[in-house]
């Protein structure tokens, strides 16, 4: 049985399962069900299929747990029993605290109810009063950002709107335990970044999380521990990196023993893709685990991500040629003028208010507003800030940015302390515009978000104090004409050392790992 205790979580245990199992009866023919009903327990006209069996675990409060395993291993079955959606055949599970589960986008919604009505219904099912839901509704509606559709029947929603409302509801009702089954990044680019920011925020706040994904890099980035479910049993549990590596080794080892086709001797050797390895810097980790070519990935890539990558790789060639021709005549002067007056996005805003950001703009090297860039191009970020109460005679201010990919990984960051020791603000009430000129490396194609911030630094402060920070103020798309396997591709020179009496040859890779020599191939990124 599943015991759900909606009182606030106490102690160190959030979820405890003992001997958990789920068995299904499979009937070979339809009439066998009737025969089983009439026979009672005297004879079995079915065969037992155990989706999960003998699983015992204890998950501590405030940690993030990942679950990996092949399709059909029993991951979703385990989550459904923890969430109380399925009744265990054997064993029991105890849940301490309020639990929300995003097992399937839109699950639990009544299609004939409006979005507003479904929000209140979801809150009621979690034990929240109408007054509590009225206080939370604006937060949920703002996160979903579906406008007037909040007052229309859910059956009129597009798939993306359904996804927005589902994540907004379950991620914003202050759960003690949050379950996500392969549906963390949903919707368009801006909303995916919003989801990832909310996920990190909940993790930092101490919410216990159960996260199912086929993305090994995400597991190592987000999770404290990983559970490996294999064939319906708990095969391993432990540190995220170690368990994930063991799972991938087992997965690809089985694939090698059962090849899809036997290669002919005349076939060219496949190009190996380098295995992703964790960066020494914990803030920057590989965006994806890769494997040798011709081996199936652990699971299907979300269609939205695949589409985003495809779009990022198809930038207007005519425009690129025009820009190249113009730049051949010399670096152009930027054409923008005046302060920035708008902030296109923003999922959260924090600071003491001594200075505020009034506008953010994104431009190419010619000063044209743009949201799509290629590697090797210069991206201009203009930020207009207004001084509210900083003293120009004594105080300084610090401006900076952080670039993140859609998984929420910090890719790069900069603040003005790296360039100048002291940057004086304008007089109180006045505004000033600053510009960051960023040379883009060969980053993995896809959607990225830019967070901007301004901080004040007064005499006596040990460090700058945040005045205004806007998370995901801008969402942009990066394309790349190089082959990027992980986060970025570094320029690499491949040298095949000659045998005795010969001379070495070298090749410089101009595709981030795509250069080749007879009998050898280089890879980077």
pLDDT tens-digit readout, 245-262: 899 888 886 433 333 333
Report the SS3 class of residue 236.
Answer: strand
The C-alpha atoms of residue 141 and residue 136 are separated, in whole angstroms, by 9
d(CA 95, CA 70): 26
Give me the pLDDT at residue 37, please: 86
Q: What pTM did the predictor assign?
A: 0.61
The whole-angstrom separation of Cα 99 and Cα 360 is 38
pLDDT digits (tens, 9 = 90+) for 177-236: 999 887 655 567 788 888 888 888 898 899 999 988 887 777 888 899 999 999 999 999
Percent of the chain predicted with pLDDT > 70: 75
pLDDT(294) > 80: no
pLDDT of residue 331: 52
Which pLDDT does position 291 carry in this prediction? 40
- Lowest pLDDT segment from 70-84, 190-204, 313-327, 434-448: 313-327
Residue 486's closest CA among 431, 426, 405, 428? 405
Tokens standing for 3?
């015991």
Contact 500, 523 (CB under 8 A): no
Residue-averaged pLDDT of the chain? 79
The residue extents of the domains of the chain are 329-479, 490-521
pLDDT tens, residue by residue, 335-346: 677 889 888 877
pLDDT in the model for residue 504: 59
List Cα–Cα distances, 132 to 113, 120, 125, 135, 501, in angstroms.
20, 10, 13, 5, 82
- Span 329-479: which CATH code? 2.70.50.60
**Which position has the higher pLDDT, 461 or 55?**
55
What is residue 311's predicted lDDT score, i.e. its pLDDT? 41
- Please check whether residue 373 is in contact with residue 480, taking contact to mean a CB–CB distance below 8 angstroms: no
**Chain segment 385-405, per-residue pLDDT in tens:** 999 999 999 999 999 999 998
């Amino acid at each position: 049985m599943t015991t759900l205790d909606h009182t606030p979580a106490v102690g160190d245990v959030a979820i405890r399962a003992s001997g958990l199992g789920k068995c299904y009866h499979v009937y070979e023919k339809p009439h066998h069900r009737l025969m089983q009903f009439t026979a009672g327990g005297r004879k079995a006209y079915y065969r037992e299929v155990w989706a999960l069996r003998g699983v015992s675990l204890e998950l501590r409060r405030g940690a993030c747990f990942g679950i990996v395993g092949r399709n059909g291993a029993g991951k979703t079955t385990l989550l459904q029993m923890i969430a109380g959606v399925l009744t265990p055949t054997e064993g029991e599970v105890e849940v301490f605290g309020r639990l929300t589960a995003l097992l399937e986008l839109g699950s639990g919604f009544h299609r004939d109810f409006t979005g507003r009505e479904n929000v209140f219904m979801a809150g009621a099912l979690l034990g929240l009063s109408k007054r509590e839901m009225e206080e939370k509704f604006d937060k949920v509606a703002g996160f979903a950002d579906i406008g007037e559709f909040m007052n229309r029947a859910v059956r009129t929603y597009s798939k993306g709107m359904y996804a927005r409302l589902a994540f907004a509801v379950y991620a914003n009702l202050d759960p003690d335990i949050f379950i996500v089954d392969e549906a963390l990044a949903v919707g368009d680019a801006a909303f995916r970044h919003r989801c990832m920011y909310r996920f990190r925020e909940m993790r930092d706040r101490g919410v216990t999380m159960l996260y199912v994904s086929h993305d090994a890099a995400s597991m190592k980035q987000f999770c404290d521990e990983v559970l490996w479910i294999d064939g319906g049993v708990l095969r391993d549990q432990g540190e995220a990196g170690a368990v994930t590596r063991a799972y991938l080794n087992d997965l690809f080892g089985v694939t090698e023993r059962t090849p899809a086709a036997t290669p002919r001797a005349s076939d060219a050797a496949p190009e190996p893709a380098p295995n992703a390895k964790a960066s020494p810097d914990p803030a920057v980790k590989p965006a994806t685990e890769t494997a040798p070519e011709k081996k199936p990935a652990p699971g299907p890539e979300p269609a939205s991500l695949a589409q985003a990558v495809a779009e990022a790789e198809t930038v207007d060639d005519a425009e690129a040629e025009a820009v190249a021709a113009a730049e051949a005549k010399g670096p152009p002067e930027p054409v923008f003028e005046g302060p920035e007056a708008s902030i296109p996005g923003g999922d959260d805003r924090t600071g003491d208010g001594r200075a505020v950001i009034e506008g953010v703009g994104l431009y190419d090297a010619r000063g044209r507003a743009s949201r799509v860039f290629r590697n090797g191009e210069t991206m201009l970020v203009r930020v207009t800030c207004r001084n509210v109460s900083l003293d120009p005679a004594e105080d300084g201010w610090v401006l900076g940015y952080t670039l993140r990919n859609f998984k929420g990984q910090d890719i790069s960051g900069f603040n003005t302390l790296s360039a100048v020791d002291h940057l004086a603000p304008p007089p109180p009430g006045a505004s000033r515009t600053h510009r960051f000129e960023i040379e883009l490396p060969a980053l993995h194609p896809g959607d990225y978000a830019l967070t901007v911030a301004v901080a004040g630094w007064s005499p006596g402060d040990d460090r700058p104090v945040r005045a205004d920070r806007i998370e995901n103020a801008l969402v942009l798309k990066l394309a790349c004409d190089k082959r990027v396997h992980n986060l970025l591709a570094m320029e690499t020179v491949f040298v095949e050392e000659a045998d005795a009496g010969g001379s070495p040859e070298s090749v410089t890779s101009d595709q981030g790992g795509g250069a080749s020599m007879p009998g050898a191939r280089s890879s980077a990124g």
